[in-house]
Structure 1
């Protein structure tokens, strides 16, 4: 007779599945990984993962949702610390970069692929909306204090595009040894900020 698992045991094993999936997806690519392989990785029967996820796409959605939640939590914690609008925005930017460099597997699955079915998974949709809100919060604060002007959604995407580009260059080792990544990031952020100050385009 199969062992009846407690809710805590079910949640723990589900997290172990997600951990293994995140690592294998990043190492081997989505197409090369199956739920059967995940089962073998964890030393369980081939059918066990199907008790938790109906297929690989649902597994990927769970991996990405968890990544977005961890990402949002990191930025929200940094942004909540006391300071000026500029200091809090800088803290959120630092948290973004730190997350990407410390958790590259999760970051790549979150931002470097397209999952056409993501709208089918409510938890992923929720996590995506949370992340989008988190990435616009500092822009809205800077606008409210008159530090920058423009469309908050457009500005948030402009700053995000710049930061994501730098992060991906760093993760792919495209920065030469004699180039200071943080100095480049500060220069780019400063140039963007100056370009969107009130009256900058007049």
Structure 2
């Protein structure tokens, strides 16, 4: 019977081997036989640790998110939430183009029932960028909608570029989409009073967790009102 330490070593070797095969030859190369040979373990070990091939692929995707988060943690804020969002977008697209097979597995093969804490944490980083924009009074739509829009557009652009032959890619596609999304969710100076009021409501909604003067019940009620107003 394997000890926990031995099982962890086997798991790490297997995931690393599967990640290499995925990068070199695509998802079809990640067979139980090929991975067990590359990792130096017997095929039953893979079934015991991951259940089946899909379980192994889920583990590879989770490993990809761990690496993604490690890279994000090294980048410091510029002090400008919009510049931070732009940098995060560009970094996201660059990661996808550098490791297309892994990125496609992480984002195209997503299944809600297998969402891992690290995958959620990756999305939460985007949420923090959006929250910073809201706190600066620059967000014109609710935070949840803004985060969902940026996530959908960013991953969609990246997958589109991955599926397009390198010599046929539009070099301006990512930047154009990025700026269109930013224009849709942010504001410099609201054009009219209604826009200014909505922006103020979004900003107040972002600051609610810090309003210690209000009780939990009062903050909950105010959040409900602000959410209703901004929609």
- Shorter chain as denominator, the TM-score bin is 0.7 to 0.9
Could you tell me how far 1:190 is from its partner in structure 2?
1.9
Q: 1:5 deviation in Å?
A: 7.5
Distance 2:36 2:116 in 1: 27
The reply on whether 1:96 has 2:92 as its aligned counterpart is: yes
**Normalized against structure 2, the TM-score is what?**
0.68
- Which residue among 110, 120, 139 is the counterpart of 2:130? 139
> Match for residue 121 of structure 1?
none
- Give the SS at the match of 2:87: helix
Alpha-carbon separation, structure 2, partners of 1:115 and 1:184: 27
Task: Classify 1:42/1:70 alpha carbon distance in 2 versus 1 (closer, same or farther; 3 Å).
Answer: closer
The TM-score with structure 1 as length reference comes to 0.76
Structure 2 CA distance for aligned equivalents of residues 49 and 87 of structure 1? 43
* Distance in 2, Cα, partners of 1:129 & 1:40: 32
Structure 2: which 5+ residue stretches go unaligned?
196-231
Gaps in structure 1 of 5+ consecutive residues? 119-123
Q: Structure 1 residues 174 and 139, CA, compared in 2 at 3 Å: closer, same or farther?
A: farther
Distance in 2 between residues matched to 1:115 and 1:192, nearest whole Å: 25
C-alpha distance in 1 between matches for 2:154 and 2:4: 43
Displacement of 1:98 in angstroms is 2.0
Alignment of 1:1-202 (within 5 A): 7=5, 10-24=7-21, 27=25, 29=27, 33-78=30-75, 80-115=76-111, 117-118=113-114, 124-174=115-165, 177=168, 179-180=170-171, 183-198=172-187, 199=190
Give the distance between the partners of 1:114 and 1:81, measured in 2 at CA.
Answer: 29
CA–CA distance in 2 between the matches of 1:111 and 1:62?
Answer: 14
Distance 1:125 1:44 in 2: 26
The Cα of 1:47 is off from its aligned counterpart by 2.3
Q: Which runs of 4+ in 1 moved over 4 A?
A: 23-26, 174-178
| Greater helix proportion | 2
User: How many residues matched?
Assistant: 190
Structure 1 vs Structure 2 CA RMSD:
3.0
Distance in 2 of aligned mates of 1:112 and 1:172: 12
Answer with 1 or 2: which has the greater Rg. 2
Task: Verify the 8 A CA contact 1:25 1:33 in the aligned structure 2.
Answer: yes
